Structure 1
Amino acid sequence: MAGFVTVLCVLLGLANLPFVSSRFLGVFSVRGSKQGRLLTAEVLVCFVLSLGVAILVERFVEGVSYRQGWEFYTVLTCLFVVLGFPGFVRRFFWTVPT
């Protein structure tokens, strides 16, 4: 159970990172604003990092490493998209009342 909660917390953080931070991966400063290709690249890098964390947690925390079929990647992609939706809404749809 601890591994599942760990993966969900990491997914939540990494899925929202591109949308809530004005820096690339939260570390590197960017000239101008992040849009288009840079934002897409950051989302993909965060997805690959979350994929690596999920595999490492399964291997080391759970103690068992199962064969990763297409189901694993599909579920992880869906979780990443769903957990990243609040950051996406905050960045593109949220308006501050004046």
Structure 2
Amino acid sequence: MDVSSSSWLVILLAFAAANLPFFNDKVFALIPLKSGGAGQERHRKALFIRLLEMVALYFVVGLIAIAIEARIGTRFPQQWEFYAITACLFIVLAFPGFVVRYLRKRR
């Protein structure tokens, strides 16, 4: 895998991971939230849980990116600025999911 295709792979993976918390009500799309009883409607995830899930997925995508970079060649050391920029980029990539979940009008 060359550098260009691996970069696009990480960007697409980050886009999917950033939007994952907003497009389903299961934690990490695997674990359903417990409901109160048999006849009750299912619970929706709170925004706080979605944000915690985004933070965890940010680190998962970061670890995958580090592994891909190490496989291609030398892994470059990063300073705090790199992590601040990538965290902001991850938040920007999550904007479509946030709009669909919270800002779109339901009819």
| TM-score for the superposition, normalised by structure 2 | 0.81
Name the SS of the counterpart of 1:79 in structure 2: helix
CA contact 1:51–1:76 (8 Å) conserved in 2 = no
1:38-96 CA-partner distances (Å, limit 9, x unpaired):
22221111111111122112111x31200121132122112201111000111110113
Residue 41 (structure 1) aligned with residue 52 (structure 2): yes
Counterpart pick for 1:85 among 79, 83, 95: 95
| TM-score for the superposition, normalised by structure 1 | 0.88
Aligned residues: 96
1:3-53 CA-partner distances (Å, limit 9, x unpaired):
110110110010000001111001111131100432222111111111112
4+ runs deviating over 6 angstroms = none
The alignment-based identity, stated in percent, is: 29
Structure whose alpha-carbon radius of gyration is higher:
2
Alignment RMSD, CA only? 1.3
